[in-house]
Every structure is written in C-alpha cells, then in structure tokens.
Structure 1
Amino acid sequence: MPSRIASLAVVSLLLLSGCGGILGDESPTPPSENRTNDSARWLAPGLTSDGVEDAEALASTHRRSVESRSRTAAMRTQVTAAENGSLLSNRSYVVRVADDGRRLAEQTGDSRTDDEYRPRVYWYDPNVSEYAARSGANDGEVSYTYSRETNGELFSDGTYADRLYSLFTVLNVSVAPETVDRSVHRLEASERSLLFDGRELRNVTLTARVDYSGVVRSYELQYETERGGTSVRITERVRITDLGSTEVERPEWVETARNESGGSAAALT
C-alpha cells in the first residue's frame, strides 16, 4: 500500500498499566430511548457502518464524554527487538482524575536501553495550584519535588483525544462488520508502510473499542520502526475505565514533599 503522510503533534506519555485484555470487558448498554433496530443510531458521531468518516467529530465527542467525568486512564508501551522478540522496555503510565480535576499519576516499568528511567508518582491539585512528585532510584533513595506554581498541561488529561484524532486521521479505520449492530464497536486498521510523526513505520495495526456514546474505551497500536539503528516492534495500549467512579485523595507523601521544600515553591526537575 502506498505510504500515508501525516504530521502529529502529540505529547509522548510514558506507558501504561497492566490491565486485563486491551479491548476491555465493559459493555455499556444504551438507555431505552437509544435502543433501536436502526444500526445507524448505535454509531457514535463521526462513525458510519463503513468506519471513521469524521475523525474530528469522533475524537471531540470522546473528549467531551470523558472530560465530563472522573476517570482512570492507563497506557502501556512495550518495546521488543523485531528480530527475536526479546523485551527491551516495558513502561506504564496510569493517571486518575477526580471530578474536581485533581490528578494522581504513576509511572512504572523498566528499560534496558535507558538507565535514567525511574519510577515516579505525580500529584496535581488545580484547586490550590499544588504540584508534587516522588521519584525512586535504583539504590532505594527517594527524592521529592514540590511547587505551588505548575502548569497543569504537564499532565495527561486522561482522554488521549489528541492521540486518537491523529490515528483516526492517518489510518483508514473500518468498523468490524459483526459489531455494527451492537452498542460497542470494534475499529480496525492496518498499513504496510506509514510516515508518522516524522518516522517510517512498518506493519502498522490498530484495534480500538468505541461505545455508542463515542467513548473510545481502549485501543492497541502496533508497529515496527528503527531506534538507534535497531529494528524494534512497539506495542502501545491505552484503556480508559472507571468513568464517573474514580476517586482521588491527596497522598500522605505530598506533605513530606511540602515539608522538605520548606513549604515554598521548589524548582521543577
């Protein structure tokens, strides 16, 4: 297939959680007024029975639906050697967002190619402009950062709407025929070659799960590319769960971070 060229401006977030199957096990049921034998009524804005017709409409509907509720969003990025499948990196990034905007994010995992990678936990409360971070080291030492002036845009909003828009734009995404008449649809796409974010990707596949309201509950993106002269296989998985039921409390270690900083703003690192 011919290569497709698209420019992406997406923040690369660090990886995801090890939640069960990537396509998830939640199957929301439409309210009675939405139930119909007309399959078009089951499809979210931007979708037709053939696939994604309007990437912006679908991504925007997803963003609005998710942003209006508390949520848990998990991303896992796994990197393996394309030649023999050996694991090079396995990272997770999970962010929990409360109704009032407070966020708790956790970065975990390991990397054989990045000695500087460390597990970290981040806290952000926009209501009082409080930011704190806790970072671990290989020797067990824990360091803290605390600030009263932090840009909330540093944190994932837990929607991944920009990422979804980019993927739906650059790929020819179809709806699995057997899911057209259901309340949850499986989206599929594949490309042999793709120029994506300035990189050449090969053997690209995308599988996503979107419900009747337009919420993309999960997706899995796989592709091969070059990193440092080595051919690698990258698998990116995202899953959004606990919509409307995620609770976030201020961790006890945030007070330790505040005390260590003397209660004043510390430089962010």
Structure 2
Amino acid sequence: MRGRLALFAVVLVVLTAGCGGLVGDDGDDDEEGGDRELAPGLAESGVTDSNLLVNEHRSQLEDRPFRTELERTVVDDGTTIGAEHVSQAVAAGGAPARERTVLEDDTGTVEYDQWIQPETPLVRHNESGSVAYGVGGHQSVGPSPPIPLDDAYDAVDSVAVEEDSSERYVLEGTTEDLGSYESVAFTLVLAEEGYLEAYALEGILPDDEESVLATDRTTVEEEFFLEPTETGPEEPAWLEEAREEIAAEHDD
C-alpha cells in the first residue's frame, strides 16, 4: 500500500519541482542539525500546529482562482467496480465555479456538470445520453479538499523537504479513520506557501447503502491535485439552454 503512495510523491516532486534533493540526503540538512521552521505549523520533525496549517491553506486560496482534479477508484477483491472523476475551476472568492463529476460502474456512466453561482446554480445531468437540467444546491466552492485536512495533519508520521527554487513539503502518515475511510495510508504534498497542492491515499470504504460506490468493504485509491490559476472558469455552452428549459418548466 505504501509503495504506491511513495511513488506518487516522488513522481509529483520530480515533475513539478525540478531536480532538487530532500533535506537529510547526502548532508543537505541544516549545518547545525537544528529543526528549522518551514511553512507555518510545520517543522522538519513533523506537524507542530495542524490548525495553523489548515488556516494557511484557506488564507492562501480564498481570494485566488484555482482548479482541482480528483480521481477516485474503488476496488473489490482485485476488481475495479467503480470510478469517479471530479474537476473544478473556481473563481476568486468561490463563485462562479464549474464542477464536473463523472461516475462509472458496470451499469454505465453518469455525468453531472454544474455551473455554481450565487443567483441560480444550475446542473446538467447526463445519464447514458439522456440529458436533463435542474437547479443545483451549491452557491460557491471553497478551497477545502475532499478529506478533513486537520485530521490528516494530526496523523502525519514523517516530513520531507525538497530544497530548490520551488520548495515543497512531502508528508506521509497512517490513521484508522479519515473522513469516510478506514485504515488509511496517505501522502500529502504542500506548496512552499503552505497550501495543500496534492494528496494520494489508500483506504477502506465501509459498507454504506447510501454510497454509489461501496459494496461491502471495498478498497479506495484517491488522488487529488490543486493549482492556483490566473482566471476563473468559462461559462459552459449548455448554460443558456438550461436557463430556457428551467424557465419554461416554471411557466407551465
């Protein structure tokens, strides 16, 4: 389980941060061997203040546009039984935002495409080519990831620091419970500014009749990426059609 997460961390750091090494490798540690302060709430010895780290994540992103990608795969006895892909493009302040969710299992594919805004959030539902529109339930999107960050930070076992022009922090841990999952092993990657840039986890999804993915006790593999952007989302092409269809339903 931990091998795949370690590979995720190594690949992400290599792709996004060049060829810098990790603190502690080949004498790259502090000359005095001290525990220097890194991002607020984080030191080389581990997480010193999980609340401070969570607040830093929010404060770094609350007034910036950003995009996210989430990949979730559910495996039962070695067989993939379901997958979920969620992508978000979010304007500064959380609205407008566009969120697209694709669910796949042995019965087919369902897509939810949401245009999230304070006045009238709209959703396009496409199931096997049958399209319907409706009013969504979210008026804005926040920068919090799908997992509870404070619980993840509290469960961190180790911290590695890449030293180059794009310094990043790689945190690993295990915990019995994290959000909806049990028996979780995870890797978190923090940007130099202190916000969560990515994570990967493996865990158990307990039996839950309300879940669209769970069937008994299944294994979940989840990867999440976040990136600040220069601009917010573009309006989807279906938006005007959705407004007209919903207005016509209200007139009937």
Once the two structures are TM-superposed, the CA of residue 117 in structure 1 deviates from its matched residue by 6.8
Q: Which residue number in structure 2 is paired with residue 249 of structure 1?
A: 234
In the alignment, is residue 157 of structure 1 matched against residue 142 of structure 2? yes
Equivalent pairs: percent with the same residue? 20
What TM-score comes out, normalization by structure 1 length?
A: 0.70
Structure 1 position 174 matched with structure 2 position 158: yes
Q: Secondary structure at the match of 1:75?
A: strand
Q: Is the 8 A contact 1:95 1:104 kept in 2?
A: yes
- 1:48 aligned to 2:43? yes
| Preserved contact between residue 51 and residue 175 of structure 1 (Cα < 8 Å) | yes
**What's the offset of the Cα at 1:173?**
3.5
SS in 1 for 2:92: coil
Partner of 1:188: 172
Residues 72 and 240, structure 1, Cα contact 8 Å, conserved in 2 = yes
Alignment of 1:55-74 (within 5 A): 55-74=50-69
Shift of residue 137, structure 1, vs aligned partner = 1.5
Distance, in Å, in 2 between the alignment partners of 1:198 and 1:249 is 32
| Residues 98 and 115 in structure 2, CA contact (< 8 A), matched pair in contact too | yes
Q: Please, what TM-score do these two structures have when normalized by structure 2?
A: 0.74
- Bigger relative contact order, structure 1 or 2, given CA contacts below 8 A and separation 6+? 1
User: Which residue pairs with 1:121 in the alignment?
Assistant: 113
Query: Which residue matches 1:104?
Result: 98
Unaligned stretches of 5+ residues in structure 2: 1-10, 19-29, 209-214
Residue matched to 1:6: none
State the alpha-carbon separation in 1 of the partners of residues 152 and 185 from structure 2: 11
- Three-state SS of the structure 2 residue aligned to 1:262 is helix
| Structure 1 residues 137 and 46: alpha-carbon distance in aligned structure 2, compared to 1, 3 A threshold | same
Residue aligning to 1:27 = 17
Letter of the aligned partner of 2:173 in structure 1? Answer: A
Match of 2:84 among 69, 74, 91: 91
2:205 is the alignment partner of 1:233? no
- Post-superposition CA distance 1:167-214 (Å, at most 9, x none): 223x133202xx2645111111124xx144586x23x21101112210
Change (3 A) 1:158 1:264: farther
User: What is the distance in 1 between the residues matched to 2:52 and 2:134?
Assistant: 39
The residue aligned with 2:244 is 259
Match of 2:25 in 1: none
Task: Please tell me whether the aligned partners of residues 132 and 146 of structure 1 are also in contact (alpha carbons under 8 angstroms).
Answer: yes
Amino acid at match of 2:170: R
Question: Could you say which residue in structure 1 is the equivalent of 2:195?
Answer: 215
Task: Specify the SS of the correspondent of 1:107.
Answer: strand
Cα distance in 2 for residues equivalent to 1:234 and 1:249: 32
SS in 1 for 2:156: coil
Query: Does the 8 Å CA contact 1:108/1:118 hold for their aligned counterparts?
Result: yes
Q: Return closer, same or farther for 1:168/1:263 CA change in 2, 3 Å cut-off.
A: farther
CA contact (8 A) 1:258 1:264 kept: no
Matched with 1:133 is: 123
Question: How far is the alpha carbon of 1:233 from its aligned partner?
Answer: 1.2
Structure 1: state its 5+ residue gaps: 1-20, 29-35
Spell out, residue by residue over 1:66-121, the C-alpha distance to the aligned partner (whole angstroms, 9 max, x if none): 2221000111211112x3x2101110111110236210000013024xx5972110
Tell me which amino acid in the other structure corresponds to 1:103: A
Distance across 2 between alignment mates of 1:22 and 1:109: 25
Q: Residues 203-242 of structure 1, C-alpha deviation per residue, up to 9 Å, x if partnerless? A: x21101112210111001111344367332111211002x
Which of residues 68, 72, 77 in structure 2 aligns to 1:77? Answer: 72
